[in-house]
Amino acid sequence: MSELTVATRYAKSLIDLAKEQNALEAVKGDMALFVQTLKASAEFQAVLRNPIIAHGKKKSILHAIFGEKVSKVTLSFFDIMVNKGRGELLFPTGVEFVNQYNVLKNIINAKLVSAAPLSEANLTTIKAEVAKITGGSVVLNTSIDPDLIGGFVLTVGDRQIDTSVANDLKIIKKEFAQRVTK
């Protein structure tokens, strides 16, 4: 069974447990913190994945880092996963938990890359349009890429809208090349 499949099942179980304990929002915050921490530390990920490191050592590391910062539900979940020898699945389970939470709460993550910073009014308009189309609450992550020359690239799920000048130039170049070769 693939790592993603197993992580998805554990994430679903954690969501169900958090709902049962009326701690869904707290656990979501905990898992977001956990994922962010592990993304920033490849060494920490390596420790959790290493089968040679004793379960007790992994648990003590998790308690030292997250003991005062996360809920008891999350800490218990960490302990159960490590005791079952599934420490290597904690990170993908955390990522999948956040994804499933977003689906459950109808939160849409969108990525906007623009050639120059956009005004707040433009960002608000884009968020509103994406929300209208998707019917969800939109979290818009923005970044700047001067190589686009002008315009922007908006990615929502597996869909992408590319209004960049760089893309237009690439299309024109391709069309020109096809006409020349005919």
66 close to 75: Cβ distance less than 8 angstroms: yes
Q: Identify any residues that bridge with 144 across adjacent strands, giving them in sequence order.
A: 114
Q: What is the pLDDT of residue 41?
A: 94
What are the pLDDT digits (tens) for 40-96?
Answer: 999 999 999 999 999 999 999 999 999 999 999 999 999 999 999 999 999 999 999
Whether CATH 1.10.520.20 fits 3-103: yes
Q: What is the pLDDT of residue 156?
A: 94
Mean pLDDT, the chain, integer: 94
What are the pLDDT digits (tens) for 2-30?
Answer: 898 999 999 999 999 999 999 999 999 99
> Hey, what amino acid is at 36?
Q
Domain regions of the chain by residue span = 3-103, 106-181
The Cα 113–Cα 105 span in angstroms is 25
Q: What is the pLDDT of residue 182?
A: 63
Angle value at C-alpha 6, between 58 and 103, nearest 5 degrees = 105
Task: List, as own/partner pairs, every contact residues 140-143 make where C-beta atoms lie below 8 angstroms and the sequence separation is at least 24, other chains included.
Answer: 140/110, 140/111, 140/112, 141/109, 141/110, 141/111, 141/112, 142/111, 142/112, 142/113, 142/114, 142/118, 143/111, 143/112, 143/113, 143/114
Q: What is the pLDDT of residue 58?
A: 95
129 half-sphere exposure, CB direction, 13 A CA radius: 10
What are the pLDDT digits (tens) for 141-167?
Answer: 999 999 999 999 999 989 999 999 999
